[in-house]
Amino acid sequence: MDDKIAFVKEIPCILVEKKGNKITEKNDFIITEERIAIYLNDIKIISVMSIPCDQDAYAVGFLMSEGVIEDIKDIQNIVIANDGLSVYIQANINTENLKNLYHEKTLTSGCCVGVTGNFDGKIIEKFIDSSFEISINRIWKLIEDFENSNLLFSITGCVHQASLILEDESKIFSQDVGRHNAIDKVVGKARLNQKDISKSILLVSGRLSMEMVIKAAMHNIAIVISRAASTYLGIKTAQMLGITLVGFARDNKLNIYTHPSRIILENS
Amino acid sequence: MDDKIAFVKEIPCILVEKKGNKITEKNDFIITEERIAIYLNDIKIISVMSIPCDQDAYAVGFLMSEGVIEDIKDIQNIVIANDGLSVYIQANINTENLKNLYHEKTLTSGCCVGVTGNFDGKIIEKFIDSSFEISINRIWKLIEDFENSNLLFSITGCVHQASLILEDESKIFSQDVGRHNAIDKVVGKARLNQKDISKSILLVSGRLSMEMVIKAAMHNIAIVISRAASTYLGIKTAQMLGITLVGFARDNKLNIYTHPSRIILENS
């Protein structure tokens, strides 16, 4: 059995179908999430509801997305507890950005409390002027692969995914119940493996709100593609930060909202 | 023009279609969200990214879902700022539950930082033993109405909705970019209108994770139905708190996960 199936539980339920008022007792496949605690330099800084896999990648991705850890080399040690429910990181940190994490509770349309604080402080000065380009034909192929890669979603209907396509065409993939977590996990995996992601493409399954775009900007990712919608602040932020934002990438169509010049539209 | 359209902006984009490599410049309809600040007894306690409508209902629903305000009668005054971006509430509050709101940052699979704190403290002792019942035929009709009622989703593809069906068959409806916010808005609207929602049904478009179930329990809502999936902790929490949980209610099918006896399955 694939180890990912370990995060799925079979739960009895009653399936009711309107046609013929059919009633069937069956088992449904349900995703399991756990509360995972992140400790930074011996202090518990946050907990997250997450599928308990890639916990170290999540912690690193989240803390780097928030600017608390600025360079992977600043991490001295990472340990995942045996029960998988805690991650302990020792690192040199940006204490100012750690304070921002607690600056104000902002319930975003999804999650990610601290991001908006950091956005107000620092990232707003950023502009990604990468000349990185990709052809539309390559994008169609990436979207097709992405759609076919989420086993856990196909089983449970309850999982977001994120994929980074690196310059050497290798791919890093992650999944989680939360769309934010999936992104933090995938960038964390890349960072832990010392990958340069400044010339990568981020594909996600979830809605592109402002905080998702900011996460991409924090990792200098110039192209972000989602199968879902973008919000107005998501688009505005991408425009401002120099990110090429693509939404509704599904059914062999897509919308390019910002900085379209990185996508070569002519067939080649 | 319907006033809800006021929350939609037309944004230019490039539509690319794979078939024939067709490129079209068009306008897309994008939902707008704003950061809205909630002040309680002259202290800013939280901000939320939300569609700027029903801000007062959101504030009341959120604070009652968190147990910070325990009774609508405890509210002396609510004012929405002229720019719509702040809500000011004066109320007698449960200071212990306000502290829980700040107890620990838990990034849930969606949002709602404080809920888990309150869950640990208080609500776990609750069990909803309501004998409220509903026929499956009535549920099919409610689902059909619910599917047809979200104008903003049909325009933008980026809006969650929540609906409360009261004992007198009247309906209260709300929508937001966030699935949590949509629930807080709809229960807040009911509370502001002095409605008894202990014999109501909550229909939602979003995933049923633990914190959604807890919100229902905080308002004594015995039946929760979603068109989306449930997580394992969502189902476990519903089982424990006495809530009838229904998922994947779409395409003329549904799954009953917990406490099925409230749903009368025989045709009548």
User: Measured between alpha carbons, how far is B213 from B236 in angstroms, rounded to an integer?
Assistant: 10
Residue A227 is predicted with a pLDDT of: 94
- Give residue-wise pLDDT tens across range A90-114: 999 988 888 877 655 555 444 333 3
Residue B150 is predicted with a pLDDT of: 80
Between residues 53 and 92 of chain B, which touch chain A (CB distance below 8 Å)? none
Q: Is B234 helix (H, G, I), strand (E, B) or coil?
A: helix
Q: Mean pLDDT over residues A127-135, rounded?
A: 89
User: Measured between alpha carbons, how far is B181 from B207 in angstroms, rounded to an integer?
Assistant: 13
- Phi (first) and psi of residue B24, to 5 degrees: -130, 130
User: Measured between alpha carbons, how far is A139 from B92 in angstroms, rounded to an integer?
Assistant: 56
In sequence order, what are the beta bridge partners of B231? none
Alpha helices (H) in B34-148, listed in sequence order: 55-65, 95-101, 115-121, 136-147
Residue A96 is predicted with a pLDDT of: 84
Q: Is B243 helix (H, G, I), strand (E, B) or coil?
A: coil
Tokens of A213: 């775009």
ipTM summary value = 0.89
Q: In angstroms, what separates the C-alpha of B232 from chain A's closest C-alpha?
A: 5
Q: What is the CB-side half-sphere exposure of residue A49 using CA atoms within 13 A? A: 28
Is some CB atom of chain A closer than 8 A to the CB atom of B50? yes
Residue A124 is predicted with a pLDDT of: 56
Q: In angstroms, what separates the C-alpha of B166 from chain A's closest C-alpha?
A: 23
pTM of the model: 0.90
User: Measured between alpha carbons, how far is B78 from B89 in angstroms, rounded to an integer?
Assistant: 5
Contact state of B23 with A47 under an 8 Å Cβ cutoff: no
> Residue A257: pLDDT band by 50, 70, 90 thresholds?
very high
Residue B117 is predicted with a pLDDT of: 38
Contact state of B13 with A255 under an 8 Å Cβ cutoff: yes
User: Measured between alpha carbons, how far is B222 from B244 in angstroms, rounded to an integer?
Assistant: 6
- Give residue-wise pLDDT tens across range A170-196: 999 999 999 999 999 999 999 999 999
The residues, ordered by sequence, that sit 6+ positions from A29 with a Cβ below 8 Å of its Cβ are A8, A9, A10, A11, A155, A156
Per the prediction, chain A carries an average pLDDT of 88
Residue positions of B annotated with a catalytic role: 111
Tell which of B109, B120, B142, B159 to mutate to test the A interface (max A CBs under 10 Å): B109
Q: How many other β-carbons are positioned within 10 Å of the β-carbon of residue B22?
A: 10
User: Measured between alpha carbons, how far is B220 from B127 in angstroms, rounded to an integer?
Assistant: 9
H/E run at residue B192:
helix B179-192
Is some CB atom of chain B closer than 8 A to the CB atom of A32? yes
Q: Residue ranges of chain B with pLDDT lower than 50?
A: 1-4, 108-121, 268
